[in-house]
């Protein structure tokens, strides 16, 4: 998900370093790794590092700014988050629409999602710098990192709906490319002929169906190697 490198999570004056770490962790679990901090009270700090767990890299890359205006410099789509509706609210975007809208906007530029202070949220002037506001339906305001988690989840879910294979984020192995898959299919066809499973006079749609099966699986290079190893072992056994 390369485009997610153009999503910034912006925290305005966070007062607890632990929250900054928890935010980094929450964002990273949803494949979002850009953190921008506007005047954090205490940063870097050990508590932030501890709470980040395996998102320490996000903290290390975090950009610190002295004003929200500077933090939003290159962003073309800015959404402020607020637990409450205001006197003259900026246009609202429903949480459920936010994810797909973010992905549309990423085709044109950079996106920022802005979060407020633990104590008092975002000021009206800060909300004025946002094009839209969104609210997570809740009976009272969420903890900062919990709010970041919910928003990032919505953005991640919208990406998954477009590209379901992103869910396999645990798997870091490179996907097999088309040439590797073609060699696998040739190898498979040769073995199926050798073991007389594939009848060359009546091949029907067998190879096409198998292609569809393997394509759906989005095989990695490692998996292709395993399958080809099985095919080679089958050939050795058959020829004995
Ligand atoms: N007491 C503050 C709440 C701050 S919570 C207030 O009333 O505004 C810290 C930040 O978490 C908020 O500024 C907002 O960015 C985010 N947040 C918390 N609850 C939220 C909700 N229900 N919807 C959207 N954002 C929320």
Q: Mind listing the pLDDT tens digit for each residue in 4-35? A: 789 999 999 999 999 999 999 999 999 999 99
Distance between CA 45 and CA 20 in Å, rounded? 9
* Packed helices 144-162 and 17-29: angle between N→C axes, nearest 10 degrees: 10
Please give the pLDDT value at position 215. 84
Task: Tell me, using a 6 A CB cutoff, whether residue 236 lines ligand 1.
Answer: no
Instruction: Compute the distance from residue 147 Cα to the ligand 1 centre, in Å.
Output: 7
Best residue among 114, 141, 155 to mutate for probing ligand 1, ranked by most atoms within 8 Å of CB: 141
Distance between CA 229 and CA 41 in Å, rounded? 57
Instruction: Compute the distance from residue 107 Cα to the ligand 1 centre, in Å.
Output: 28
Q: Which atom of ligand 1 is nearest to the CA of 119?
A: 1
Structure-token pair, residue 150:
């919910």
Within the chain, which residues score under 70 in pLDDT?
A: 1-3, 86, 88, 164-171
- For 64-79, letters b (16+ CB in 10 Å) and e give ebeebeebbeebebbb
Please give the pLDDT value at position 111. 95
Instruction: Compute the distance from residue 116 Cα to the ligand 1 centre, in Å.
Output: 6
Instruction: Compute the distance from residue 198 Cα to the ligand 1 centre, in Å.
Output: 63
Task: Tell me, using a 6 A CB cutoff, whether residue 144 lines ligand 1.
Answer: yes
Please give the pLDDT value at position 216. 82
Please give the pLDDT value at position 84. 82
Full-model pTM: 0.73
């Amino acid at each position: 998900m390369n485009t997610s490198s153009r999503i910034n999570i912006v925290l305005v004056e966070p007062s607890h370093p632990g929250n900054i770490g928890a935010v980094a962790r929450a964002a990273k679990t949803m494949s979002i790794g850009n953190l921008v901090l506007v005047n954090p009270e205490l940063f870097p700090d050990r508590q932030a590092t501890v709470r980040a767990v395996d998102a320490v890299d996000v903290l290390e890359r975090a950009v610190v700014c002295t004003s929200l205006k500077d933090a939003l410099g290159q962003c073309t789509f800015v959404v402020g988050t607020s637990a409450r509706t205001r006197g003259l609210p900026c246009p609202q975007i429903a949480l459920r629409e936010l994810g797909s809208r973010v992905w549309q906007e990423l085709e044109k530029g950079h996106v920022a999602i802005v979060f407020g202070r633990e104590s008092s949220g975002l000021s009206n002037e800060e909300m004025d710098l946002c094009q839209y506001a969104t609210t997570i339906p809740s009976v009272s305001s969420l903890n900062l990192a919990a709010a970041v988690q919910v928003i990032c989840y919505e953005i991640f879910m919208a990406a998954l709906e477009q590209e379901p294979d992103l869910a396999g984020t645990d798997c870091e192995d490179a996907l097999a490319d088309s040439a590797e898959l073609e060699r696998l299919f040739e190898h498979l066809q040769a073995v199926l002929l050798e073991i007389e499973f594939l009848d060359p006079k009546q091949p029907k749609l067998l190879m096409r169906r198998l292609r569809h099966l393997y394509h759906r699986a989005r095989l990695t290079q490692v998996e292709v190697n395993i399958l080809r190893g099985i095919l080679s072992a089958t050939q050795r056994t058959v020829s004995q």
